[in-house]
Amino acid sequence: MSEVAFLRAVVGAEWFKIRSVRSTVWTLGLAFALSAGLGTLIALNFRSGIDRVENFDPLFAGLISLMLGQLALVVFGVLVIGSEYGSGTIRASLAAVPRRGAFFGGKVLACALTAFPVSVVMVAVTFTATQTALGPYGTTAGADEVLPGLVGACVYLTLICLFALGVATMLRSSALALGILLPLLFLGSQGLGNVPKLKTVLQFLPDQAGMELMGLVGPSDDPQFAHVYGPWGALAILLAWTAAALVGGYVTLNRRDA
């Protein structure tokens, strides 16, 4: 078997695992429910009180719910490998694919090939639902700065899912990984990153970079909400976090027994 055929077989096997696990449907379904459902409620709330909203931004109203929807994608990324550690099937998997680099690479690619299309659909559905709920106050994908925000959301959701996969591989435990990631991402997204004394450091966390990439932060001259970097800086930060987590996951998998 050629190298390409071998890697294709490994990715196919990992993708089959993802599709055959019941938790995949539940977690990805929850991601849609949180993003589109909660987003619609937020948009309706904005619409009903539009006269009291200062500097209203329909893109913010349309995408802010993704910061909760991301938590379900984080759970999905953790379970891609954490479920194997929890059940002990990691031993059988490594016996079937003893080349750990190929095994981990297959996991990463299968996760990405699932997370990216799910993210695209989730962002499209959420944006459409929220802008419909906003009615005359909504915007379109062709408006200024909207399309970059939508593309940034798709990229961020995919990368945060892979980041979660890397963290779970390093920790070798779903419970431990989720116990760290969910509070960190939830609290960071809900405002800790905007506390002046904490912002200097917390603005470089992956979820804060994701908000910048989606255009959900204030303008550059806003001392409270703006970051010291722009969208390209945010992308670099996200790629660095994701790469560090995946490299750390590979090193841990390669050096430690199952």
Task: Determine the pLDDT at residue 194.
Answer: 60
Radius of gyration of the chain (CA): 19
Quick one: average pLDDT of 28-39? 91
Does residue 191 have a pLDDT over 70?
no
* Contacting residues for 153 by C-beta, under 8 A, at least 6 apart: 63, 66, 119, 123, 213, 214
Q: DSSP label at 162?
A: H
Average pLDDT, the chain: 87
Residue of higher predicted confidence among 78 and 10? 78
3-state SS, residue 41 = helix
Task: Determine the pLDDT at residue 190.
Answer: 58
Summarize pLDDT for 44-100 with one digit per residue, the tens: 998 988 888 777 889 998 999 999 899 999 999 999 998 888 888 888 888 888 888
Q: DSSP label at 255?
A: H
Task: Determine the pLDDT at residue 238.
Answer: 96
**pLDDT tier, 107 (very low <50, low <70, confident <90, very high otherwise):** very high
**pLDDT tier, 17 (very low <50, low <70, confident <90, very high otherwise):** confident
Summarize pLDDT for 196-216 with one digit per residue, the tens: 666 777 788 899 899 999 988
**pTM score:** 0.91
- Outline where 135-173 has alpha helix (H): 146-171
Chain Cα centroid distance, residue 14: 20
Task: Determine the pLDDT at residue 14.
Answer: 84
Task: Determine the pLDDT at residue 222.
Answer: 60
Task: Determine the pLDDT at residue 55.
Answer: 78
Nearest to 14 by CA among 114, 138, 91, 98: 114
Is there a contact between 39 and 130 (Cβ–Cβ < 8 Å)?
yes
Domain ranges within the chain, ordered by starting residue: 3-255
First to last CA, the chain: 26
| Dihedral angle over CA of 250, 251, 252, 257, nearest 10 | 100
Task: Determine the pLDDT at residue 57.
Answer: 87
Task: Determine the pLDDT at residue 51.
Answer: 80
Summarize pLDDT for 217-237 with one digit per residue, the tens: 865 556 556 677 889 999 999
Does residue 192 have a pLDDT over 80?
no
Quick one: average pLDDT of 163-191? 86
